[in-house]
Chain A
Amino acid sequence: MTAIEVRGLTKRFGAVLAVDDLSFEVRAGTVTGFLGPNGAGKTTTLRMLLGLVKPTAGSALVNGVPYHDLPDPSRAVGAVLESTGFHPARTARNHLRTIATAAHLAPSRVDEVLELVGLTADADRRVGGYSMGMRQRLELARAMLGDPEVLILDEPANGLDPQGIAWLRGFLRWFASTERVVLISSHLLAEAAQTVDEVIILARGRMAEQGPLEQLLRRASTTVRVRTPDAERLVGLLQGAGINARRQGDVVDAPSTTADTVGRLMADNAVVVLEMSTSGESLEQLFFEMTAHGAMGGPGPDIPAAATVPGPYGGPS
């Protein structure tokens, strides 16, 4: 079943085309990473999905309907968005009470979600005195009030300390284990790789890549290069072992494998090795490449990678 369906979604802010004819689906029971560098259009897409931003064209559906047609949005979708605010003078408990009241939820849910995110002890403090991490937990508590089927998180790790990030990861694993849907945006692929099964990669408002994380990880793995007088034979051996090796003169490239595998195979078959090296493309490098060169589906204007790709510890989008 499709939990989230985006079709030809486009958003233009004046001269800026923030999201450009984007289409994707998120199936029930998956954790999907919605990835891309800052300014790729992730937040705008999520906000369109949640009815907060009006699309210029296309549709964004949750459980088959636009967000504002959901009979009970709080029970269907929980969303943690950046720049969602709190009244600083209101306590966390009262903040959640206002939401629970508007959403027809039992008052007991407030205590349950406070417990869930570990804020029970601080529930009657004013949110103005909360740390960034506590606010993020409170946001998650708000999203969880309706015990939703779909959780949408926009850069939830931003502002969290390492303990907070570890806690969030554990929380998402628990949520995903209940066979529900998570769509989580991040500009850090390596961070997302810890939690997601599927990835959607966005670059300048367009789809750059979509598929299982496994597939991406395979592409990001090591290539082993061997210089050998037995190049022809080695290619045959490698292909026999299911490795898609290629030969160029006396050099053989074995992608998506490890030096260990190739080394043992050569020793077992008495292949003479003149030189051997590995070249690794990390997940982050792959991500940079995909997002810096525009959408794979079509040509995009080329801009320098440095202009669009944040460092591994880049700021929020």
Chain B
Amino acid sequence: MIALVRAEVLKLRTVWSTWVLLAITAVLVGALAAAVGFAPHRREGVVFPPRGTVAWFDSVFSIMAISLDLALVLGVIATTGEQRHKTVTSTYLVEPRRGRVTAAKLLVCAAGGAVVALVAGAVGLGLGFAVVGGGFGNTNEMLTEFRHVWPGVAASGVLFALYGVGLGALLRNQVVSIIVGLGVTAIVEPIFVAALPSVGRWLPSEAAQALESVTARPHVRGLGSNTVHLITWWEGALVLLAYGLLLAAAGSFTTLRADVT
């Protein structure tokens, strides 16, 4: 199993898509955090917190959660890339017990999700230090706020990567898996959250929000009548873990058992 894990690490390290994904994470977190952080103080009736305040750091650091989508894509690519480039044949020739290959991918992508979160964290923290260095807020408050937000993002990132592996194992097609994965978070979830909040809050990104709240916010989000009561952080963690493992198990029992032709 250790050999398979090492091989999976090597597979991720030796293709450019992994590095591009990490670069996109850095650029996306940096650009969006800057856009939120340096937006005009008041726009269309919405008041943004003053730069350097605790609330400001909170909204800027929350942007790091965008890295979850990239962790998901990492998991999907690690699994479906084998189908796409037909390297799955040589992978299964070396290890015909396919469940072990999926298990190795789950382990390695969990670590990969953590690396994506680290990159997001590094960019967020860099921005935080830059703003403090520019004379806004103080280091202690900034770091305290970072410690409130980042651990939840990192934990969600790890679990989202597992969710990506599970999705890829089940659907096999790379483009379809990415569209379904991101489509669920971007389109399906908001619909459920609006129409059926009792169901919606158990879906992946709501579960991730719940997990992120472990060290940070109270268990509600949104404003006024749109308030959604999140599940507890540990429920969020378990639900996300279950998505990853159940999808991977389903994939192992269906498509991964299929003939490789």
Binding site for B on A (CB under 8 A): 43-44, 47, 50-54, 67-68, 70, 73-74, 77, 79, 81, 83-91, 94-95, 97-99, 101-104, 142
Contacts and interface: CB of A to CB of B under 8 A. Distances in A.
Nearest to A101: B7
Given A67-B96, A77-B93, A87-B11, 11 more contacts: A47-B261, A51-B96, A52-B89, A52-B259, A68-B96, A73-B95, A83-B89, A91-B14, A99-B94, A101-B10, A142-B90
B45 to A, nearest CB: 48
Contacts of A52: 89, 92-93, 259-261
B42 interface: no
Contact of A47 (B81, B91, B260): B260
Nearest to B91: A102
B223 interface: no
B3 A73 contact: no
B17 interface: yes
Interface residues of B, number: 27
A103 B259 contact: no
Contacts of B3: 101-104
A90 B87 CA distance: 11
A85 to B, nearest CB: 3
B89 A81 contact: yes
A102 B259 contact: no
Interface in B201-243: none
Given A73-B93, A99-B94, A86 B85 contact: yes
Contacts of A79: 93
Interface of B: 3-4, 6-7, 10-11, 14-17, 81, 85-87, 89-97, 257, 259-261
B7 A53 contact: no
Contacts of A94: 10, 14
Contacts of B257: 54
Given A101-B3, A101-B6, A103-B94, A85 B86 contact: yes
A83 B86 contact: yes
A80 to B, nearest CB: 10
Nearest to B260: A52
A89 B15 contact: yes
A74 B14 contact: no
Given A53-B260, A54-B257, A89-B15, A102 B95 contact: yes
A102 B7 contact: yes
A97 B12 CA distance: 12
Contacts of A98: 7, 10-11, 14
A59 B227 CA distance: 61
A73 B10 contact: no
A80 B86 CA distance: 13
Given A53-B259, A73-B94, A85 B10 contact: no
Contact of B16 (A67, A68, A89): A89
A99 B7 contact: yes
A132 B130 CA distance: 52
B222 to A, nearest CB: 42
Query: Top 10 nearest A-B pairs by Cβ distance?
Result: A85-B86, A102-B7, A68-B96, A94-B14, A52-B260, A53-B259, A101-B7, A84-B89, A51-B96, A85-B85
A155 to B, nearest CB: 14
Contacts of B14: 87, 90-91, 94, 97-98
A85 B93 contact: no
Contacts of B94: 73-74, 99, 102-103
Nearest to B2: A104
Contacts of A97: 10, 14
Contacts of B11: 87, 98
Nearest to B14: A94
Nearest to A69: B96
A85 B89 CA distance: 8
Q: Which of A51, A53, A91, A102 has the most CB of B within 10 A?
A: A102
A62 to B, nearest CB: 11
Nearest to B11: A98
